[in-house]
Amino acid sequence: MPSPILGTSYITQQYGLTDFARSSSGRSYYKNFPGGIHPGVDFGTHRINLPVVATVDGEIVRAKLDGGWGNHVELLGADGWNRQYAHLSAMKVVVGQKVKAGDELGKVGTTGSSSAIHLHYGNRRRSTFGSWEYRNPSLDFKDLPKSSPLPTGKLIKSDEEEDKAVYIYNGRTKFPVPDWDTFVFLFGEKAKIELVSPDVISKIPMGDLLPSLK
């Protein structure tokens, strides 16, 4: 299966010691995970609450509002690893339920410690010492969506404080960055953003989607 999401998705953060994991925000988010890693793969959906589906056959061993994971479903596969589906807006399964790969488990959301609508997908199991052990969940996929390359252009936003939208401007068209996770993944936490008056921004044609995320 190419993705745990039915519909168009893209990766906003890979597994491991990512650029975001190294940032001040990332170190705070991931301080309780081994080596400060990001313990899964994050999938963006352009803020759409798309269906989330099982990537393997197995049994639901967790389905609840679960602290920073938000609405969190865990699916135990035959290999002994739990597949994690976190930050869901809705859960469609219950503990003890048997599911097949492709069955719907819930909807993408932004519950728990989340800054934007996305799916956190992870693999974990209990070690012999009782702590959680994580592995790269991309092992589950034959055709994992590619991480977005860095788009060309400058970053602009309105100088009105209440307008939080950030755009990539290529000299002709402005393309909205879908969410903060995507922004940090593409440009880093301290990327320079040029403030532009709203009347100037309104005159620049809007692109429908970041070219690199199509």
Residues serving a catalytic function are 118
Q: Residue 166 is inside which H or E element, if any?
A: strand 166-169
Return the closest-CA partner of residue 102 out of 195, 19, 3: 3
Gap between the Cα atoms of 188 and 119, Å rounded? 20
Tally of CA atoms within 13 A in the half-sphere of 69 that contains its CB: 17
Return the closest-CA partner of residue 40 out of 108, 111, 141, 134: 134
Gap between the Cα atoms of 65 and 198, Å rounded? 40
Rg of the chain over all Cα atoms, to the nearest angstrom: 18
Gap between the Cα atoms of 160 and 41, Å rounded? 34
CA 86 from chain centre, in angstroms, equals 9
